[in-house]
Amino acid sequence: MYTILIVDDSPMIVDVFATMLERGGYRPITALSGEECLEVLKTDQPDLILLDIMMEPMDGWETLEKIKASPATSNIPVLMLTAKPLTPEEANEYGPYIEDYILKPTTHHQLYEAIERVLTRRHSISADIERARNAGADPKLIEEYERLSKSVDINRRLLKILETTYNIKDDRAGMSEEITRAIKSMATSIKIQEERLNQIRTRIESLSGSQEA
């Protein structure tokens, strides 16, 4: 059974998510602030963290930075929870540190799907890395493959969220052109990452094939 830490400063929302997770067969543990989250992580190592962005005094982004800055917790996957639209700046700055972004309110199905997607991706990447190591691939190449495999998948999802949130026909506050430019820049970056990832994957598959032969 997977343990999932819910972090939100609303006790009602925490209870809702805890109930949803229990029904889905997960073991929920809870924290009502960023500070409490960090305290919980000193004694518990959850398989995943659901972290709300809009908290006080320490918001979700600051909490995320502290989680990822500690070697003891940096590898725990984090899904951000919020009712606030994601900005291109947030996507670029925090994309490398999160596993997904869930808009509240969410359904049971959407929550379970997001959790299983994260856990499945981590297992898949781990299996690929093990095969690459067994094939004698360069450690730096493996490290790059691990980073890009996660980054491309997450950034694709963040890009889709941004495209849905900020319709290019929306000219509110004169921000449409700026946001459109940021979204196009992100799409270009993802394309470059995908090309490099495919190159590395081909190289690793070639090494694995040679070993099997």
Distances from the Cα of 28 to the Cαs of 2, 19, 43, in angstroms? 9, 8, 15
Largest CA distance in the chain: 61
Q: What is the pLDDT of residue 9?
A: 95
Q: What is the pLDDT of residue 160?
A: 84
Could you give the 3-state DSSP secondary structure of residue 97? helix
User: Regarding predicted confidence, which is higher, 110 or 166?
Assistant: 110
pLDDT digits (tens, 9 = 90+) for 43-87: 999 999 999 999 999 999 999 999 999 999 999 999 999 887 788
pLDDT band at 91 (very low <50, low <70, confident <90, very high): confident
Q: How far apart are CA 34 and CA 163, in angstroms?
A: 29
- Ordered by start, the domain boundaries in the chain are 1-84, 107-213
pLDDT digits (tens, 9 = 90+) for 177-194: 778 888 888 899 999 999
pLDDT band at 174 (very low <50, low <70, confident <90, very high): low
Q: Which amino acid is at 28?
A: P
User: Regarding predicted confidence, which is higher, 124 or 6?
Assistant: 6
Averaged pLDDT of the chain: 89
Q: How far apart are CA 161 and CA 103, in angstroms?
A: 10
pLDDT at 199 over 90: yes
pLDDT at 35 over 90: yes
pLDDT at 36 over 90: yes
Chain position carrying tokens 């291109």: 88
Q: How far apart are CA 158 and CA 101, in angstroms?
A: 7
- Integer-rounded Cα radius of gyration of the chain: 19
Average pLDDT over every residue of 193-202: 94
Q: Quick one: fold of 1-84?
A: Rossmann fold (3.40.50)
pLDDT at 168 over 70: no
Average pLDDT over every residue of 127-141: 90
Q: What is the pLDDT of residue 94?
A: 87
